[in-house]
């Protein structure tokens, strides 16, 4: 099955709540029509026919009514094995990246994914601990030691599932996928938002004197999900060598991470490599899943409008499909939107954003499954409705707006007219 590169198009977005019918636009929702094709100038809701039953609650909540038009109904034929293959064949991206055959800015790296997997086995089976966390730490250490990649962000998650399969390990509910985040950078960078620039309290090699942010989610970290006897677990994972001056450690529960430090706190300190404390600021840390904090940052002009909604949706999508190249595309081929700002997530309701926020801080097995099922629904919409006409046969072009409403337990997905703007409710 061919795949499109969706994740790289979701590098920005911010959530806005909306309700009611679009101002200045007509709405069909699920009303029948004599038209033979979808009305691009109207808002309508998407429904799902889920033949293998792999969409779970998202399909149950979006069953097509009797009067739904054909263009509103998306048919899912992917089995659990098909969905699993979408992650297993992400190894092809890692292979192409390390060989210097992708459109990413790389001339190749040392080693191969196979060498990384061999090293993972050595590290993991000689570690003091076992389980999903120990495996993830071994995988990151193995990749870092072998590839020396300049832009390694997607290598580790694209190797993870394949490595588990190859080594015969079993980690229930295991998923490792990239998410976007705001991180501080030295204050002399061009383009920093002036209101984010602060003093670190040091002038040494351990940290810059001044730091700030671009107000954008430019940095990649990983979302780790797995199951234990205590239920679903969620961790934020950073690469160990990545700017260690501003991180407490590499792997933490979200509620204990720097990303959840409240904006009400002026600053906090971490120890430097020379024993000197470094001031850190809560507004310099937030991920695409920390909805409430990110929304406050947006309202305070610390996060640019448009940065959260696409990144949040991209996080759900990357759990389902994260590869950027496979056998169906020649090496070096342009992928996805080829540099376009990406698919238009024009609206994300407050209720939906907070339901994702609640899942991250208080995970459950049911909510973990619903987050994955939501990603699957988004994947199917993009595969069948949006995209580049030269790759497949989408109903619309890739610039179609999408509205996400409801909650994670009961999402609602709508097509929006390109020329219509929804009123924002903060």
pLDDT digits (tens, 9 = 90+) for 289-346: 999 999 999 999 999 877 888 888 888 888 998 865 333 333 333 333 222 234 567 7
| Cβ pair 276, 209 in contact under 8 A | no
CA dihedral 292, 210, 217, 350 (to 10 degrees): 20
User: If you average pLDDT over residues 64-73, what whole number do you get?
Assistant: 92
Q: Which tokens go with 125?
A: 């089976």
* 3-state SS class at 271: strand
Smallest CA-to-CA distance from 193 within 180, 212, 217, 209 is with 212
Per-residue pLDDT band for 93 (boundaries 50, 70, 90) equals confident
Q: What is the pLDDT of residues 235-293, one digit of tens each?
A: 999 876 555 667 777 899 999 999 999 999 999 887 765 567 888 899 999 999 999 99
Q: What is the pLDDT of residues 149-197, one digit of tens each?
A: 877 778 899 999 999 999 999 999 999 999 999 999 999 999 999 999 9
Per-residue pLDDT band for 1 (boundaries 50, 70, 90) equals very low
Q: Which tokens go with 55?
A: 């969409």
Whether the pLDDT of residue 94 is over 70: the answer is: yes
pLDDT the model gives residue 11? 32
Q: What is the pLDDT of residues 206-225, one digit of tens each?
A: 678 899 999 999 888 999 99
Which has the higher per-residue pLDDT, 190 or 391? 190
Q: What is the pLDDT of residues 3-57, one digit of tens each?
A: 333 333 333 333 333 223 333 355 555 554 455 666 667 788 999 999 999 999 9
Whether the pLDDT of residue 92 is over 70: the answer is: yes
Per-residue pLDDT band for 385 (boundaries 50, 70, 90) equals confident
Highest mean pLDDT: which range of 96-100, 101-105, 218-222, 368-372: 368-372
pLDDT the model gives residue 4? 37
Per-residue pLDDT band for 229 (boundaries 50, 70, 90) equals very high
pLDDT the model gives residue 417? 74
Q: Which tokens go with 20?
A: 């009611």
User: If you average pLDDT over residues 340-353, what whole number do you get?
Assistant: 72
Cα–Cα distance measured from residue 389 to residue 366, given in angstroms and rounded to the nearest whole number:
36
pLDDT the model gives residue 12? 32
Cα–Cα distance measured from residue 99 to residue 287, given in angstroms and rounded to the nearest whole number:
30
User: If you average pLDDT over residues 86-112, what whole number do you get?
Assistant: 84
pLDDT the model gives residue 310? 80
pLDDT the model gives residue 29? 58
């Amino acid at each position: 099955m061919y795949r499109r590169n969706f994740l790289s198009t979701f590098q920005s977005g911010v959530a806005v709540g909306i309700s009611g019918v679009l101002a200045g636009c007509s709405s069909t929702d699920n009303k029948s029509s004599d038209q033979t094709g979808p009305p691009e100038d109207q808002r309508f809701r998407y429904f799902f026919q889920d033949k293998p039953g792999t969409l779970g609650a998202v399909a149950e909540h979006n069953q097509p009514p009797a009067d739904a038009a054909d263009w509103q109904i998306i048919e899912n034929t992917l089995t659990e094995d098909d969905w699993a293959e979408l992650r297993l064949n992400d190894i092809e991206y890692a292979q192409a990246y390390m060989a210097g055959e992708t459109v990413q800015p790389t001339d190749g790296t040392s080693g191969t994914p196979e060498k990384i997997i061999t090293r993972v086995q050595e590290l993991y089976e000689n570690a003091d601990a076992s389980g999903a966390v120990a495996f993830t730490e071994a995988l990151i250490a193995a990749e870092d030691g072998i590839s020396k990649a300049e832009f390694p962000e997607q290598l580790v998650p694209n190797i993870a599932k394949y490595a588990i399969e190859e080594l015969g390990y079993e980690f229930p509910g295991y998923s490792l996928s990239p998410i976007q985040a705001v991180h501080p950078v030295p204050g002399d960078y061009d383009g920093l938002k002036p209101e984010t620039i602060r003093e670190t309290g040091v002038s040494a090699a351990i940290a810059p004197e001044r730091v700030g942010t671009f107000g954008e989610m430019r940095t990649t970290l990983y979302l780790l999900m797995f199951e234990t006897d205590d239920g679903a677990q969620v961790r934020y994972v950073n690469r160990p060598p990545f700017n260690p001056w501003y991180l407490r450690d590499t792997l933490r529960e979200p509620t204990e991470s720097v990303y959840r430090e409240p904006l009400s706190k002026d600053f906090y300190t971490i120890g430097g490599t020379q024993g000197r404390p470094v001031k850190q600021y809560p507004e310099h840390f937030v991920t695409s899943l920390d909805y409430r904090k990110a929304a406050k940052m947006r309202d305070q002009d610390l996060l640019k409008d448009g940065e959260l909604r696409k990144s949040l949706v991209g996080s759900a999508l990357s759990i389902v499909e994260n590869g950027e190249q496979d056998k169906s595309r020649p090496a070096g081929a342009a992928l996805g939107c080829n540099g376009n700002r990406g698919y238009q997530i024009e609206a994300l309701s407050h209720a939906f954003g907070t339901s994702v926020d609640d899942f991250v801080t208080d995970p459950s097995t049911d909510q973990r499954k619903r987050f994955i099922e939501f990603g699957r629904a988004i994947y199917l919409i993009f595969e069948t409705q949006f995209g580049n006409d030269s790759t497949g046969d989408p109903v619309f072009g890739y610039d179609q707006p999408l509205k996400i409403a409801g909650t994670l337990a009961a999402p609602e997905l709508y097509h929006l007219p390109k020329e219509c703007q929804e009123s924002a409710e903060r």
